[in-house]
Amino acid sequence: MPEDINKNYVKRYVDAANSTDNEDIKNNCLYRAGSQMEVIPCDGNDKLTPDQQEIVLTAAKKLLRDES
């Protein structure tokens, strides 16, 4: 992951993804967080697979835990 990740941006979108039951909104939020952390391709495709969703959530958990 790059050093200049905006942690507030990642946290905002991961929180939004975790607080919705709408799969389209969840995918869009996780795409934004994942592309910010550069753990998924920044290609405009926000139709994430379950594996990609897990990659983003795992990376975000590590990133946000490291800030404490």
- Which tens digit of pLDDT belongs to each residue from 6-48? 999 999 999 999 999 999 999 999 999 999 999 999 999 999 9
d(CA 30, CA 58): 11
The whole-number pLDDT of residue 4 equals 86
d(CA 50, CA 65): 22
The whole-number pLDDT of residue 67 equals 62
pLDDT (average), residues 45-66: 95
d(CA 43, CA 54): 18
Global pTM reads 0.91
Closest by CA position to 10, among listed 52, 51, 65: 65
Neighbours of 50 (CB within 10 A): 7
